[in-house]
Amino acid sequence: MKTRTLGNGLEVSALGLGCMSMTSAYGPAADKQNMIWLIRNAHEKGVTLFDTAEAYGPFSNEELLGEALQPIRDQVVIATKFGFDIDLVSGQRGAGTNSRPEHIRAVAEASLKRLRTDRIDLFYQHRVDPNVPIEDVAGTVKDLIAEGKVKHFGLSEAGVQTIRRAHAIQQVTAVQSEYSLFWRGPEHELLPALKELGIGFVPFSPLGAGFLTGQIDENTQFDASDFRNFVPRFSPEARKANMALVEIVKAVAQRKNATPAQVALAWLLAQQPWIVPIPGTTKQHRLEENLGAVEMDLSDADLCLINDQMSLIQVQGDRLPESAMKMTGL
């Protein structure tokens, strides 16, 4: 497995593993023992970056990852997140965010226990809290780093000015936001700023929440608990219109003797050497397929062709429901 470096020296596998779907968001939780096996198998195949959050479940995803990685803890990088208003005992979610310093500290302690570890390698603020200055957030994480409980600081779905303010207090190692051929918003302001500041980028939903795999069309039925039921971009009408984008990826995949998912991930890897996508899966064959993208070579001609053809398509539908969009800084 090839490696990449995020920010100030955090070396990780070129592809990480997003673990959210193992317990939530895309339907019912997968079988726990199967997921433990999948996580450990991912490590055997070279994956070293594993992404979770207290909010996934809540709590059950961190617990799963903690059990799975305990035997190989010193060989992996664990990224988790704080920032939502979640009761640390009941798991009851409040209405919004909570990044008060005392809450960040309490979340860190609870996450350490669930993850069965003595340090969090990468601690992201999950969403920016409009009620807490980012300087206070960065300062709290800086203290946790000084205490050895956290190794690196990250931000998720934060705007450029917020990133700059945080970075001035505590060096930001990585920013996590959605980025793929299905959503290219970060290219306008975020990626140039990260390059300037020397911050790594960890795209979530690098396969467009599954759409870029070519396995979804306007007739696909999602489980009742699947979040895509509530995403404008995944309405049947939007899916039908957006299939033009998938057809471009499929055509490249056919020429390259690859899969659409591999083309989509290879395209992301080709954008910058400090980009580390974290595709998620609950299936072994999908894991192997995704990892194959690391060895895939897209030429300059391939990349130009993709960009030229994509520029002719206007993706239909917002990437998140309106209520969720209000919680991002993008």
- For the segment 160-175, what is each residue's pLDDT rounded down to a tens digit? 999 999 999 999 999 9
Is 278 a domain residue? yes
SS3 at position 153: strand
Range of the domain at 119: 3-325
Is 330 a residue whose pLDDT tops 70?
A: no
- Look at residue 95 in the predicted model and tell me its pLDDT: 85
Active-site residue, from 26, 56, 124, 179: 56
The C-alpha atoms of residue 57 and residue 224 are separated, in whole angstroms, by 16
Mean pLDDT of 106-132: 98
Is 289 a domain residue? yes
Torsion of Cα atoms, 207 then 160 then 199 then 197, to 10°: 150
DSSP state letters, 269-320: HHH-TTB----B-S-HHHHHHHHGGGG----HHHHHHHHHHHTT----S-SS
Question: CA separation (Å) from 63 to 22, 66, 225, 261, 262?
Answer: 12, 5, 21, 29, 30
Is 204 a domain residue? yes
- Residue 147, domain CATH: 3.20.20.100
Is 251 a domain residue? yes
Q: In this predicted model, what pLDDT tens digit does every residue of 27-48 receive, in sequence order?
A: 999 999 999 999 999 999 999 9
The number of folded domains in the chain is: 1
Please confirm, yes or no, whether 26 is among the known catalytic residues: no
Is 249 a residue whose pLDDT tops 80?
A: yes
- Look at residue 324 in the predicted model and tell me its pLDDT: 86
Mean pLDDT of 249-275: 98
Is 330 a domain residue? no
Give 190's contacts (C-beta < 8 A, 6+ positions apart): 160, 175, 177, 201, 330
The C-alpha atoms of residue 207 and residue 182 are separated, in whole angstroms, by 8
